[in-house]
């Protein structure tokens, strides 16, 4: 176990890639088996999203180094909110508190990406997918990869979690984010129970609905408690959920990689993104 912890500490970026690849591939195959779409249609959609791996991966690997540096610097200099805890770096309680605080930071980041126009231009690339499935997880503009990871460096610097927390956090976050984007949904009963604490595919699908107010709901990363606390929680039946973003519903743009990456540099339109109720 000590050797495993040492490997993940030194190669946290590689571990993240391996974890992502394994889970996404497994769930993609599972989606193919139950999907009503043909394999050709499924592959065509996924192949566009998969191209974002080649833009995100180099950035992610580079900036992950700074996340680790920030963590190590904080803990060697006793800096950060978590360093104020008397049982710093040890015990289940420390890991739970650190995990919850990081999750709140991710909720805050997500809200900021929606509310600041300059940042929303990059984040809407993720929302522009007209068919949400497991491949949507990696549909992230390289500009947002830089922004997201920079925010994480900031959160780590302010909190000062030990490397072990970041490893545990990454495992849960990766699994949660990937599952939340799958085509699979929980039963209403299971969703009600699990959704009391965690973000489920049912809840995250609401966030990918193409119009307000639903687009600005269910910002949670792993935990749904923040949405409940801050009034951004909402639910929507599957048959009423339509994916995409109402200012970018043109399939000719959303389904071609070269056009997608240009979206943040075009004039931002909020004509439809602002209606009070979705029209179905």
Ranges under pLDDT 70 in the chain = 1-21, 24, 27-28, 31-32, 89, 269-280
- pLDDT (0 to 100) of residue 69: 95
What is the structure's pLDDT at 269?
Answer: 66
Domain for residue 273, yes or no? no
User: What local confidence, expressed as pLDDT, does residue 105 receive?
Assistant: 98
Strand partners, 198: 223
Task: Identify whether 232 is part of a domain.
Answer: yes
pLDDT at 275: 44
Instruction: Answer yes or no: is 277 within a domain.
Output: no
143 in any annotated domain? yes
Is residue 102, in this structure, part of any structural domain at all? yes
pLDDT for 57 equals 85
Domain annotation covers residue 274 = no
pLDDT digit string, tens, across residues 120-136: 999 999 999 999 998 99
Q: What is the pLDDT of residue 10?
A: 52
What's the pLDDT at 12?
A: 55
Domain assignment present for residue 124? The answer is: yes
| pLDDT, position 147 | 97
Parent domain of 45: 2-265
pLDDT in tens, 60-107: 888 989 999 999 999 999 999 999 888 776 789 999 999 999 999 999
Number of domains in the chain: 1
Question: In this structure, is residue 240 part of a structural domain?
Answer: yes
> What are the structure tokens assigned to 101, written together?
């605080």
pLDDT for 32: 66
Helices (H), the chain: 2-10, 12-34, 39-50, 53-76, 91-115, 117-127, 142-159, 163-180, 188-194, 201-207, 225-230, 251-254, 257-260
CB neighbour list of residue 203: distance below 8 Å, 6 or more residues apart: 180, 191, 195, 218, 220, 224, 235
């Amino acid at each position: 176990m000590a050797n495993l912890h040492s490997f993940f500490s030194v190669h946290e970026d590689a571990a993240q890639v391996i974890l992502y690849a394994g889970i996404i591939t497994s769930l993609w195959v599972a989606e193919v088996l139950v999907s009503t779409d043909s394999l050709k249609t499924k592959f065509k959609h996924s192949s566009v999203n998969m191209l974002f791996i080649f833009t995100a991966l180099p950035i992610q690997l580079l900036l992950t180094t700074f996340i680790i540096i920030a963590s190590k610097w904080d803990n060697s200099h006793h800096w950060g909110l978590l360093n104020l805890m008397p049982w710093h770096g040890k015990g289940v309680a420390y890991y739970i508190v650190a995990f919850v605080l990081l999750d709140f930071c991710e909720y805050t980041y997500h809200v900021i990406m929606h509310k600041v126009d300059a940042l929303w231009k990059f984040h809407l690339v993720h929302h522009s997918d007209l068919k949400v499935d497991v491949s949507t997880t990696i549909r992230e503009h390289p500009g947002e990869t830089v922004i997201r990871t920079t925010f994480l460096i900031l959160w780590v610097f302010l909190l000062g979690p030990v490397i072990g927390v970041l490893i545990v956090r990454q495992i849960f976050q990766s699994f949660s984010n990937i599952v939340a984007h799958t085509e699979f949904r929980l039963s209403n009963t299971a969703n009600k129970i699990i959704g009391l604490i965690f973000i489920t595919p049912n809840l995250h699908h609401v966030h990918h609905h193409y119009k307000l107010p639903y687009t600005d709901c269910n910002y949670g990363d792993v935990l749904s408690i923040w949405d409940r606390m801050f009034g951004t929680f909402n639910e929507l039946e599957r048959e009423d959920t339509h994916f995409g973003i109402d200012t970018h519903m043109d399939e000719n743009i959303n389904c071609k990689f070269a056009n997608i990456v240009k979206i943040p540099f075009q004039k931002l339109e909020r004509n439809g993104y602002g209606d009070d109720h979705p029209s179905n």
